[in-house]
Structure 1
């Protein structure tokens, strides 16, 4: 059986429930953030984390 990560927990696929009033479901809220990796190292990690934090608020 597959598992999913939802609301901070891993659950069995059949046990994963999302409220019909969930804002992400109703408005298709999403977050997409990208950072570069060169030679196995994150580039400009601090600014990446600032962007990520700003996007989540």
Structure 2
């Protein structure tokens, strides 16, 4: 498994987060629910745009 942290892909064993990380301390996160029908994602582009905009904040 690879983990994406601070602009880098790292092996799971190399992934470290500071105990002072804002997301860890305050539960910050970005979530987007995506529905699929018959194996196809519904309105994928719109979901990705929302996810990207939320992550920028």
- Structure-2-length-normalised TM-score: 0.70
| Matching residue of 2:29 | 30
CA RMSD of aligned residues (A): 2.0
Runs of 4+ off more than 2 Å: 3-6
| Matching residue of 1:9 | 10
Structure 1, unaligned stretches of length 5 or more? none
CA deviations 1:2-52 (Å, max 9, x no partner) are x6736231232xx54321221111211112111110011111111011111
Larger radius of gyration between Structure 1 and Structure 2 = 1
| Matching residue of 1:50 | 49
Question: Secondary structure at 2:20's aligned position in 1?
Answer: coil
Structure 2, unaligned stretches of length 5 or more? none
Aligned positions, number: 53
